[in-house]
Amino acid sequence: MSQTLKAVRGTRDLLPPETALWNRIEATARAVFARYNFGEIRTPIFEDTGLFARGVGEETDIVSKEMYTWSDGERFEKHKMIDEWLKRNKPDGAHVQANRSSVEHPVIEAQLRAVGVDLVVMRGVAIPGQQLPGYVDELVCFGPVVSNDLVLALKKGGELVRNDRNRELRAFGNLRLIVPASVPLTPWVDRSEVIVEQFDGEFFASSQSLTLRPENTAGVVRAYIEHKLGETGQLQKLFYIGPQFRRERPQKGRYRQFWQIGAEVIGPPSAGSESPLRDAEVLEMLATLLDELGIAGWTLELNSVGSAADRARYNDVLRAALVEVAPKMCVDCQRRAVTNPLRVLDCKVPEDQPIIAALPVIADSLDEDSKAHFAAVTAALDAAGVPYVRNHRLVRGLDYYTRTTFEFTHGGLGAQNALLGGGRYDGLSEAIGGPKAPGIGFAMGEDRLVLTLLGQPNEKPDPLPLVAYLAPIGEGLNSANIALASELRKSGLRVEAGEGSFRLKKSFEVAEKSGAQKIVILGEDELASGILTVKDFATGVQSKVPRGELADFLTK
Ligand code: HAM
């Protein structure tokens, strides 16, 4: 038996009834985003690798270790090769009759093209528009590799010319297959009657490095730049819902394909994009959203990583402080201590934690503007009644952050306790070649929202009840049963239509297993009288209900 295939490690299938909870979360998020005047953006799932290297930062864990990156296959540039071959081998163009597509013999020409012959080299000069007898010198195919398909194309072409019924084509010469010198010649290819020739030159377009998106902020900012959204002069308020990919070690709440619900507020400074009120508004929206989702007991952790200049200053302070202690830390920290000291604060190695706790805090390196910005954010949060705690170590694992950084955490999640994370990224647009476009945003881990909700008492993944199972007695009643189900469904009820070939006992068993609250019996008598028999599984009570009152009765 062949080996069974499973979902790839770190990925998973989402199934009902849990998917109903996913849908509810997404519907609630969409409703809240709409009230805060956000519109949806959908960016591609893969992007040029350079976007993440420049946007998220080469030294971050995400970019240096966790991306799914591949080279998007080299492209064989056939026309470049044909031009070069003609230039070198047939400098007298007239003899080739410029014949990439014409042997001045329409029928044969189309047939040759159809079988895959690239070039017909003619001897003698043909006059365009006139059908003179042609002397075919050779048929040529160009390929990225020697394949039996190409050999076959040439041989078929040869047959066509040889069998030219009008005998307009004569004196047939070679079948020639030209391949780039850089590709090895495969030994299993049939080379009888065909001359295979290797040809020097670069005939492959350079490949592009692509990456499955590990996050969506860089993609949104790329789209903002590409579509010149800044030129509207308006703040762009964009939300997204979709999968992201990181090659992390899978564990509870951490997957290699996971879902984010995120939003970004970005625009030119003239639109107010730098204002601390934007930060406060985003945070207040998140508090509202988590409350509406029914997530109890979240904590908002807040910090400021300052401006680019503050960060540079803090990096120097940290670098100096790390000189003495880094040798006692993990190898990653030893490297980061030199390349990007801020990332030391992300370290999760338990032995390093006391050392990190004793390092200088970024708050002491902030300039007056950054301090004032942070103070304005907290003042607005206080006014809106959104509680928060200051976490001096919260520098976040992506390089683009400036000023406000935040995470909403939840105790029920264990080690991966961040429900969501975000912050301000005032220099990201410029870092990827765009205009000045300060912004702030966040992304929630949807997988973690689901875990948190399922961990709460009384949480039902799918709260819509299956109110009834409709059991037809006998196959002859199947269609009447479907009509009854349709009626009830149109009035908004979730019902299951049973199967008339089941014996009554089996129908009861299936109905109970399906979780239906009641069973409705539809026999010949019920159909004729319009009075249905309904049994309530919870109470055991059996009732006779007129068809017109059934929908009301079932929802009681
Ligand atoms: P992030 O902190 O890397 O930020 O991810 C945001 C959230 O995505 C995390 O708090 C977590 O809930 C979830 N998450 C991350 N990795 C995984 C994983 N492997 N499995 C399950 N959930 C995960 C960003 O991605 C930024 N783009 C957020 C942002 C938007 N900043 C500004 N704008």
**Residue with the nearest Cα to atom 31 of ligand 1?**
422
The pLDDT > 90 percentage for the chain reads 70
| Helix-helix angle 446-454:18-35, to 10 degrees | 120
> Residue 131: what pLDDT?
47
- Nearest-atom number in ligand 1 for the CA of 420 is 10
| Token digits of residue 339 | 């390349």
> Residue 167: what pLDDT?
61
> Residue 259: what pLDDT?
98
**Residue with the nearest Cα to atom 16 of ligand 1?**
254
Q: Is 66 in the pocket of ligand 1 (CB under 6 A)?
A: no
* Closest residue by Cα to residue 468 from 518, 540, 537: 518
**Spacing, Cα 308 to ligand 1 middle (Å):** 22
- Nearest-atom number in ligand 1 for the CA of 396 is 2
Output the CA angle 305-308-314, nearest 5 degrees. 60
| Token digits of residue 299 | 């904590």
The average pLDDT across 488-515 equals 96
User: How many of the other CB atoms lie within 10 Å of CB of 331?
Assistant: 8
What stretch of H or E contains 373? helix 368-384
**Spacing, Cα 447 to ligand 1 middle (Å):** 11
**Residue with the nearest Cα to atom 11 of ligand 1?**
445
Would the pLDDT of 355 be above 90?
yes
> Residue 422: what pLDDT?
98
The pLDDT > 70 percentage for the chain reads 93
Distances (CA, A) of 420 to 365, 445, 462, 480: 26, 6, 24, 51
Q: Among 211-220, 405-414, 443-452, which stretch is predicted with the lowest mean pLDDT?
A: 405-414
Q: Is 248 in the pocket of ligand 1 (CB under 6 A)?
A: yes
> Residue 183: what pLDDT?
80
> Residue 165: what pLDDT?
67
Residue 95 or residue 383, greater confidence: 383
Q: What is the pTM of this model?
A: 0.78
> Residue 171: what pLDDT?
55
- Nearest-atom number in ligand 1 for the CA of 253 is 21
User: How many of the other CB atoms lie within 10 Å of CB of 251?
Assistant: 11
Q: Is 419 in the pocket of ligand 1 (CB under 6 A)?
A: yes
**Residue with the nearest Cα to atom 10 of ligand 1?**
420
Distances (CA, A) of 45 to 212, 213, 359, 448: 6, 6, 39, 21
> Residue 124: what pLDDT?
55
The average pLDDT across 330-349 equals 89
Secondary structure (DSSP) of 382-414: HHHT---EE-TT---SSTT-EEEEEEEEEGGGT
Q: Is 421 in the pocket of ligand 1 (CB under 6 A)?
A: yes
What average pLDDT does the chain have?
90
**Residue with the nearest Cα to atom 21 of ligand 1?**
254
Give CA–CA dist 224/222, Å, rounded.
Answer: 5
Most informative mutation of 221, 239, 258 for ligand 1 (most atoms within 8 A of CB)? 258
Give CA–CA dist 393/321, Å, rounded.
Answer: 15
Q: What is the pLDDT of residues 82-138, one digit of tens each?
A: 889 888 887 665 445 444 444 455 667 778 888 888 888 776 544 455 544 567 778
> Residue 134: what pLDDT?
64
**Spacing, Cα 435 to ligand 1 middle (Å):** 25
Q: What is the pLDDT of residues 438-468, one digit of tens each?
A: 999 999 999 999 999 999 988 888 888 999 9
